[in-house]
Amino acid sequence: MKAPMPPVPPVRMARLDEVCEINPRLPRPHGLEDDSEVGFVPMAAVDELTGTIRQRLTRRFAEVRKGYTPFAENDVLFAKITPCMENGKVAIARDLPGGRGFGSTEFHVLRANEAVLPEWVYYYLRRQRFRNEARRSFTGTAGQQRVPLAHMAASAIPVPDLAHQRHVVELLGCADSVVRLRRRSRVLAGQMSPGLLVDMFGDPADNPKGWPVVNLGELLEGIDSGKSPRCLDRPKGEDEWAVLRLSALKNGLYDESDHKTLPPGEQPDMRCEVRAGDLLFSRKNTPELVGTPAYVWKTGGRILLPDLIFRLRPRPEAGLHPLYLWALLRAPGVRQRLQLMASGTAASMPNISKERLRKLPVMLPPARLQEAFARRMAAMHALSLQHDAALVQAKATFEALETQVFEQPRLGGKPAT
List C-alpha distances in Å: 58 to 37, 110, 197, 216, 252.
6, 21, 35, 40, 30
Can you tell me the distance from the alpha carbon of 211 to that of 175, in angstroms, rounded to the nearest whole number?
47
Are 358 and 408 members of one domain?
Answer: no
7 inside domain: no
Confidence class for position 409, pLDDT limits 50, 70, 90: very low
180 inside domain: no
194 inside domain: no
Q: Quick one: pLDDT at residue 156?
A: 94
373 inside domain: no
Confidence class for position 1, pLDDT limits 50, 70, 90: very low
Q: What is the pLDDT of residues 243-257, one digit of tens each?
A: 999 989 987 889 999
Q: What is the pLDDT of residues 18-58, one digit of tens each?
A: 999 999 999 988 889 999 999 999 999 999 888 999 988 99
Q: Are 58 and 103 in contact (CB under 8 A)?
A: no
Q: What is the pLDDT of residues 298-354, one digit of tens each?
A: 999 999 999 999 999 999 999 999 999 999 999 999 999 999 999 876 567 899 999
Are 32 and 144 members of one domain?
Answer: yes
Are 102 and 219 members of one domain?
Answer: no
109 inside domain: yes
The residue type found at 137 is S
Are 339 and 407 members of one domain?
Answer: no
Are 170 and 233 members of one domain?
Answer: no
Are 149 and 226 members of one domain?
Answer: no
Can you tell me the distance from the alpha carbon of 217 to that of 80, in angstroms, rounded to the nearest whole number?
37
Q: Is the pLDDT of residue 9 over 70?
A: no
Are 129 and 221 members of one domain?
Answer: no
CATH number assigned to the domain comprising residue 60: 3.90.220.20
Are 141 and 230 members of one domain?
Answer: no
Are 159 and 266 members of one domain?
Answer: no
pTM reported for the whole predicted model? 0.61
Are 162 and 217 members of one domain?
Answer: no
94 inside domain: yes
DSSP letters of 138-159?
-BSSTT--B--HHHHHH-EEEE
198-200-205 Cα angle (round to 5)? 35
394-399-405 Cα angle (round to 5)? 130
Query: In the chain, how many domains are there?
Result: 2
Domain carrying residue 133: 12-175+400-412
345 inside domain: yes
129 inside domain: yes
Are 105 and 169 members of one domain?
Answer: yes
Q: What is the pLDDT of residues 191-216, one digit of tens each?
A: 777 889 999 999 999 999 999 999 99
Are 154 and 92 members of one domain?
Answer: yes
